[in-house]
Chains A and B, each alone.
Chain A
Amino acid sequence: MKWSEFFVTGEPLIYAADVAIVLTIIGIVFVLTYFKKWKWLWDEWLTTVDHKKIGIMYIICAVLMLFRGGVDALLMRAQLTAPNMKFLDAQHYNEIFTTHGTIMILFMAMPFIIGLMNVVVPLQIGARDVAYPYLNALSFWLFFFGAMLFNISFVIGGSPDAGWTAYFPLASNEFSPGVGNNYYAVALQISGIGTLMTGINFLVTILKMRAPGMTLMRMPMFTWTVLITCVIIIFAFPVLTVALALMTFDRLFDTQFFTMANGGMSMLWANLFWIWGHPEVYIVILPSFGIFSEIVSTFARKRLFGYKAMVGSIVGIAFLSFIVWVHHFFTMGAGPAVNSFFSITTMAIAIPTGVKVFNWLFTLRKGKIRFTTAMLWALAFIPNFVIGGVTGVMLAMAAADYQYHNSYFLIAHFHYVLIAGTVFACFAGLHYWYPKMFGHLLNERLGKWTFWLFMIGFNVCFFPMYFLGLMGMTRRMYTYSAGLGWTPLNVVATIGAALMGIGFIVLCYNIYYSARYGERDMTGDPWDGRTLEWATASPPAHYNFPITPEVTDLDAYWVMKKNGNGLEVKEEQLKPIHMPSNSGRPFLISIAFFFAGFGLVFKWFTLAIIAAIFIILGLILRSFDDDDGYYISVDEIKRTERLARKGA
C-alpha cells in the first residue's frame, strides 16, 4: 500500500481535519505535561474502576461524538440547502451520511445512555459499585478504542460509505473496494464486545446488589428500564457480533455469505443486521423512558402514575422489539403474509408506548410542576415523541410503506423518535444528574437557552422533511435539481440544523461556565429528589454510601425524608468498606484491541497477530491476578463524611 493511499488526500476539508487533529494532540500533550497531570490522568481516570468516573468518561466521549456526528449532519445540510450544490461530491457525501448514522447511534446515543446508567444505577439501588468493576472498565475502554478506530478512518484509509446499515452487496469488496467498510466491521465489533459485557454487568448488578428492602417492585423506574435494556443487549448484541464477523470474513477472506455468486445471499445481511438493529433502538429508548419517568416524577412532586403498568409496558416493548425487524425492509418483497405479520407486531408496539405516555401525563396531572431545564426537556419529549410515534405507525402499514420507504418521511420519523426520545433524554439526564456527577449545577438560564434553541431548531429542521418525503425526496441523495421544488423546505431544514448547532454550542459553554461560576450543590439533593442517588453527597465519595441504606418503599429517599432527616449516618454504625483495586490492564488490553483491529482493517495480519498475543497475555495475567481489593478504614470514612457535612 502506498502512503498516498494510506492517508486520505485531495480534499481541503480533510487537510483541515489533519491539522486540527495534530494540533489537538499536541495541545493535550502540552497541557498534561505543563500542569504535570500525566500521573493524575493515569491514577484517577485511565486505571479507575469506579462506576461514577467510568460513567463520566462515557458521557465526555458521547458529547465529543455528538460534536463529530453533528458536524457531519451540518455538512450534509449545507450540501442539500440549494439544488445542484458543489460543496460535497457524491463519494464524500456517502461517507458523511454513513459515519453520521453509525456515530450517532453507536458512539453517541449508546455511550451517553450507558454513561448515565453507570453513574446512576449503582447509586439508585444503594450499591457501592457494579458487580464487576474491572469488567466495567474494560467495557468502557473497548468502546473508547472502538470509537477511536472508527473515527480515524476519516483521515487514514477512508471512511465507510455504504450507509450505517452497510447493506450487501453494496458493502462487499466488489462494490466498496476500499478499507472503509473494514473499519465499520472491526470497530463496531470491538465496541460491541464492550456493550455486551456492560449488559451482563448491569443485569447482575441490578439483580443481586440492591440495598436491603429494595424488592424488584420498589426499584426506581430508571433502574427498571436499565434492567430490561440489559436483557435486550444480551440477546441482541451476539447477533451483531455474528453479522459483523460474517461481514469481516466476506471482506477479508472472500467467503460467500452475502455475495452475489456461489450461493451467497445479500438479504441475509439485512435480516441479521435488523434482528440486532431493531432491538438496538429500544436499547437507547427504554433507558430514555426511565430518565423521563424519574424527572417527571421529581418535578411534578408526585409518585409515578401507574408504576406497575410502566414496568409491564417496558417488558412488552422489549419482547416486541425482537419480532418487528422486517419492517425495515418491507419493500424487499418477503410476501404479503410475512409483511402483514411484521406490520401488525410493529403497530402493536404503539400500545405499551401509549400506556407509558398516558402514565407520564397522569403523573403531571395535579402535580406541583417546577419548570427546570431537565423538566422542560421531559415535557417537550412527550408531544415531539408522539409525532415520531404516529408517523411510525404510518410507516408500519406495509402497503403504504411502499410509498414512504427510504424517503425523507422516514428520515423525519426516526429523527423524531431518536432525537426527541433519546437525545432529549440525554440532555435531560445530563442536567438532572450533573450536580450528582460534578458537585455543581448547570446554569439554568443557559440551560433553558440550549433547550429552546435546540428544541425549536429540531422541529424547524425535521418537520419539513416529512413533506419533502411525501414530495418524493429520497434519503442518501447528494443533490437534486431545481425543478423539483424541494428548495424552500430544504432551506428551512438547514436553518433548523444551524439552530440545533447553536444550541449545542450554548450547552458546551454552559459546561464551562458552570464549572467556574455554577451553583455548588452542598446538600447532595438539589432537586428535592425521590430516589437513593440523592441521599448521598454530591459528588459521592468513591464508596457511594457510608452505610448501606435500608429501603421500605418505592421512592426510598422521599419516604426517608418524610419520616425523618433522610439517610442518617451514625458514626458508630460505620464498618470498614471493601472496594475493588484500580487496574491499568483494561486500558492496555483495549489498546491491543485497537491495534489488532487496525491490522485487520488493512489486512496487516502480522500486526493483528502480535496485538492478539498481547490481548491473550492480558487475559492470562488477569487469570493469575489474585488482588482482593482493599478496605477503607472506619477512620477514613469518618474523615470523609465529616468533610462532606462541613461543606453542607
Chain B
Amino acid sequence: MAEAAHRYDETMPLEYRTEESRLNILGFWIFLGAEVALFATLFATYLVLFQRTGSGPTAKDLFEVKDVLIETLLLLTSSFTCGLAIFEMRRNRLSGLLTWLLVTLLLGAGFITFEIREFIHYVHEGATMQTSAFLSSFFVLVGTHGAHVSLGIGWMILIIIQLLQRGFTPRTARKVFIVSLYWHFLDVVWIFIFTLVYLTGMVI
C-alpha cells in the first residue's frame, strides 16, 4: 500500500487515478478470470449431463423461444446502457451516469423477473431441479448466472447511493467502473447460455 497507494495520476481517467484504484481494477479482472473458470466448469457439467434426462422432460420439450428472447434482449440492452453510463462518467456528467445506471438496473430487474417466471413455469410443468441430471445442471448453471445478476443489482444500488452521497471521487468512479466490468461479464456469460443451452437445446 505504501505511498504508492496515493500516487495520483492526473492524466488518467478518474477511476484509474490512484494506485489503489489501479490495483483494485486489475484484481477484479483477475477475479473475472476465476469466474470464467467457474462458469466453464458449470457449462462443462451441463454439456455432459444435458442429454441425460432420465424420465423427465428434454430440453426440446421445455424451452420456449419467446420468453428467452425477451430475457436476452433485456440483458443485452442493459449491457449497452451500462456502457453509456461509463461514457457519461468519462464526460464527467453525474446525472447522465445516474440515469443510465438506473436504466441498467431496471433492465436487469426485468431480466430477473422474466427468469424467475420462466423457472416457475418449468416447475409447474413438473420440471424441477430434482427431476433429472439435465434439469439439475440446467437450474444450477442458469441459476448461478441469475444469482450473479441479482447480486449485481444489489451492488449497483449501493453504488448509486454512494454516488448520490459523495458525487464523483476517484473511489466512487472506480466502483462504478468495476461494477460495469462485472455487468458486461455477465452479459458475455448469458450469450453462451443463450447459444449453448437454449438454442442448442431447441435444435437437438
By a beta-carbon cutoff of 8 Å, the part of chain A in contact with chain B is: 127-129, 131-133, 196, 199-201, 203-204, 207-209, 234-239, 241-243, 245-246, 249-250, 253-257, 259, 261-265, 268, 272, 275, 548, 575-580, 620, 623-624, 626, 629
Contact = CB atoms under 8 A, between A and B. Distances in A.
A256 B132 CA distance: 6
Contact of B34 (A234, A548, A580): A234
B45 A264 contact: no
5 closest Cβ pairs, A-B complex: A263-B52, A263-B133, A262-B54, A238-B38, A255-B136
Nearest to A132: B27
A249 B48 contact: no
Given A239-B37, A256-B132, A623 B1 contact: no
Interface string B38-78: 10011001001100111110000000000000000000000
A272 B129 CA distance: 20
Given A201-B27, A256-B132, A262-B133, A272 B54 contact: no
A242 to B, nearest CB: 4
B191 interface: no
Nearest to B37: A238
Given A272-B41, A620-B158, A131 B133 contact: no
B55 A129 contact: no
18 contacts: A132-B27, A208-B26, A209-B4, A235-B33, A238-B34, A243-B41, A255-B136, A257-B137, A259-B133, A262-B56, A263-B49, A263-B132, A265-B49, A576-B3, A577-B3, A578-B2, A623-B162, A623-B175
B34 A264 contact: no
Contacts of A576: 3
Contacts of A208: 22-23, 26
Given A264-B52, A272-B41, A249 B129 contact: yes
Nearest to B51: A263
B130 A132 contact: no
Contacts of A624: 158, 162
A259 B6 CA distance: 54
Contacts of B53: 263
Interface string B126-148: 00011111111101100000000
Contacts of B24: 132
Interface residues of B, number: 45
A234 B33 contact: yes
B27 A204 contact: yes
A257 B45 contact: yes
B66 to A, nearest CB: 27
Contacts of B30: 200, 203-204, 234
Nearest to A209: B4
A242 B52 contact: no
B125 to A, nearest CB: 16
A96 to B, nearest CB: 31
Nearest to A201: B27
Nearest to A257: B136
Contact of B2 (A127, A201, A245): A127
Contacts of A579: 1
Contacts of B37: 234-236, 238-239
B2 A238 contact: no
A235 B34 contact: yes
A255 B129 contact: yes
A142 to B, nearest CB: 15
Nearest to A204: B27
Contacts of A578: 1-3, 5-6
Nearest to A133: B1
B133 A242 contact: no
B22 to A, nearest CB: 8
Given A132-B27, A200-B34, A256-B136, A262 B55 contact: yes
A633 B54 CA distance: 69
A21 to B, nearest CB: 36
Contact of B38 (A129, A204, A242): A242
B130 A255 contact: yes
B115 interface: no
